[in-house]
Amino acid sequence: MEHTPYCSTEITELARAMLKVQADLQPALKDRENTFSHSRYATLNSVMDACREALIGNGIWLAQYPVPVEAGHMGLVTKLTHAESGQWQSSLMVMPLPKADPQGYGSALTYGRRYGLSALLGIVTEEDDDGIAAGTDSAGQAKRKRQTRQQETPIATGNKPTTEAKPQNQSEEHILLATMPRLDGIIYSLTTTQDGKTCIVASGNTANKKHILSQAGFQYSEQRKIWWRYAEVA
C-alpha cells in the first residue's frame, strides 16, 4: 500500500481551531450494552452527539469514507478539514471484515467510524450513570444505581418482568441469539417475565427494521416502547 500523507503541509490554523473543538467536546456516553461481553460501549450516534456541535461551531468539516486495502479488510479514512484555511488532518483505520457480504461490510464501517472518530478527536467515553452521578452522587450510590438498572427488565407482556434472564450457560445464550436475524444497529438481549418465560428483546435502530422484526416473530409494545418475542415460539 502506497504511503499516504495524513495531514496538509501546514496545520497551524487547523490546530488552533481543534484546540477550541476539544475544549467544547462532550463525553461520549456508553449508551449500549454488549449482550455477549456484558460491557457497555458508546455507539456511533453517541460519539457523533459528543462532537457534532463542536466541529460545526469551529468551522471543521468531518468526512469519513472507505478506501481499498488488502483483500478481506476494509480501510476507513477519517478526515478533518478547516473550512477557512483548507488545512486538514486524517487517519486511516484498517480492519478485517467479519463476513464477506454487505452486512459484514456495514458492521465494519460502523465500527471503524466510531473508533476512528474517537481516536482522531481524543473523545473520552464514560458510563451513563457515572456521568450523572459525578456531580451529585457518591461512587457507592452510582454503583447501586447500576445494580438496580441491571435487575430491571423492560418487557412487553401483561406480566411485570423480574430479573434479566440467566441462561444455563453462555453457549445456550449464544444459540438463542444466533437464531435472530442479523441487522445493522440492532442488539438482542435475553430477559424473563414474572412467570418464568424467557423472551428476546430487540433494541437499537429498530425504526427501519419493523417489517423484518415482525417476520421474525417480534411484536411491538406500545406501553414499553420495545420489540420483543418469546425465545421459544410454538
pLDDT in tens, the chain (234 residues): 455 689 999 999 999 999 999 999 887 777 787 777 677 778 899 899 889 999 999 999 999 999 999 999 999 999 999 999 999 999 999 999 988 888 888 989 998 999 999 999 988 654 444 443 444 444 445 455 555 555 444 444 444 444 444 444 556 667 777 778 888 888 888 876 655 678 888 888 888 888 888 888 888 887 667 888 888 754
Report if pTM > 0.75: no
Establish if 74 belongs to a structural domain: yes
Cα dihedral 99/101/102/108 (nearest 10): 20
Asked if residue 191 and residue 103 are part of one domain, the reply reads no
Nearest CA among 162, 197, 156, 155 for reference residue 176: 197
Same domain? 106 vs 161: no
Our count of domains for the chain comes to 2
Is residue 137 situated within a structural domain? no
> Which domain range does residue 225 map to?
153-230
Instruction: Mark whether 23 and 112 lie in a shared domain.
Output: yes
Question: Do 113 and 64 contact (CB within 8 A), yes or no?
Answer: yes
Query: Long-range contacts made by residues 4-8, C-beta under 8 angstroms, separation at least 24?
Result: 4/92, 6/89, 6/90, 6/91, 6/92, 7/87, 7/88, 7/89, 7/90, 8/86, 8/87, 8/88, 8/89
Domain-terminating residue out of 110, 127, 144: 127
The answer to whether residue 145 sits within a structural domain is no
Would residue 135 count as lying in a domain? no
The grid coordinates of residue 71 equal 483483500
Task: Please report the pLDDT score of residue 167 as a whole number.
Answer: 46
- Flag whether 54 is in a domain: yes
Q: How far is CA 169 from CA 13, 156, 175, 193, 203, in A?
A: 56, 25, 10, 19, 23
